[in-house]
Each structure stands twice: as C-alpha cells, then as structure tokens.
Amino acid sequence: MWNEPFIEKDETGSDFAILLMDTQGNFDSATTTGQNATIFAFSSLLSSVVILNTMKNVSEDVLQYLQLFASYALIATGNAGETDPQNFQSLVFLLRDFDFDDYEYGYYDDETVPPNQEKNFKKENLDSKENQPEETKLTHEFITRSYQNVGVYAMPHPGKKFTRAKEPKAELLDEDFVEHLQEFVWRMLTKKKIFKTVAGQKVS
C-alpha cells in the first residue's frame, strides 16, 4: 500500500481519499491456485478499481481463473452462486506489449474505443458470443456480469532500447509507451475515480 492517501474533491466539493495498492503477481510458479484466488478475492473486495496486468491478450485460461477467483470473493460476501454488481465495481485488463494490427493502442470498454478505431477489442474478445461453446460463453458472461464496468487498455512495448539496457533509464523508453503510460495513469485517476461501495453504500 502506498504510504499516504491522495486527497481529492468529489463533485460536491467534499474530500475523498485515493489509496494505491499493489499485490504479488498471479500465475507464476511460486504460488498455488488457492493463494492466487485469495489475492484476487481480497483485491476485488477492497478496491473500487482492479487493474489486472497481463501480457498481449486476455486468454481463455486467464478468464477461467478469474471466474474461479471471483467466486471466492462472492463466497466472502455471502453471494456465492450469483453475481452482484454492487460487490465488484471496475475491472481493467492492462495488456502489456500489445501487438494486434487490427486494434489501436488505448482504452476499450462498452462505450469507448481509441480515436480512429472502428473495432472494439473489449466487445469482440470479452463479451460472450452465441457461437461460443457453452462453457466459454458462461465464463465470459460471469466476468462481465460480476463488475459494473470491464475495460481493456492496450499498451505498447516500452522499447528494446529500454528493456535491453544494462541500466534502464526513462529517456530510453519509446515515445508511444510514454504517451500511453501517461494516458493510462490519467484515465485511472480521473475517468476511473470511483468511490468504493459495499452493498451500494460509500465506504468511509
């Protein structure tokens, strides 16, 4: 947890605090499925916005794990077997090293796509489809129903000069990466500035 809150004003002029929290990574060789589920469940219960950092794409196995992990959190709220949007507010997939030619870098959700982009990565890859196998369809529906908002940020690679440098420095980062990193942070701290609620009530 960052060692101090960021104090902002809401639309009425009242103070509220933004708390930043990082967790241990999931899907590695050092943690069990149960430990990963616990980390994700606590993150979803504590946070108004959960940012899931993953590589290049949202794979089916990641979505299946998330379905399992979200189920743990629902058990903790007493809503096992159902999805209540009041429990989970916003989930953002941060796709590192994104390299799909059909999509621009930037943010996608149900209403938003990057400028000059016609196809919507979120709708085409996360929403359920009629022609999907039933198990896959149910997984996609569970994830998109469990959160009030699900979004995707397609992030470019930071650049080989940076990743291969013996002493990586900010000036070695690609301009595209710097531009989108700034946009991502701005979007998370302004557009995604969401009050934490439990059962529809703001948390003090």
- pLDDT tens-digit profile of 16-70? 888 999 987 766 677 787 788 788 878 888 888 999 888 888 888 888 888 877 7
Confidence band (pLDDT; 50, 70, 90) for 80? low
Q: Of 121, 124, 125, 111, whose CA–CA distance to 155 is shortest?
A: 121
CATH 2.60.40.1730 fits 6-94+111-151+186-202, yes or no: no
Domain ranges of the chain: 6-94+111-151+186-202
Q: What is the pLDDT of residue 85?
A: 52
Residue 87, pLDDT above cutoff 70: no
How far apart CA 112 and CA 122 sit, in angstroms, is 9
- Residues 85, 192: contact at Cβ < 8 Å? no
- Residues 42, 114: contact at Cβ < 8 Å? no
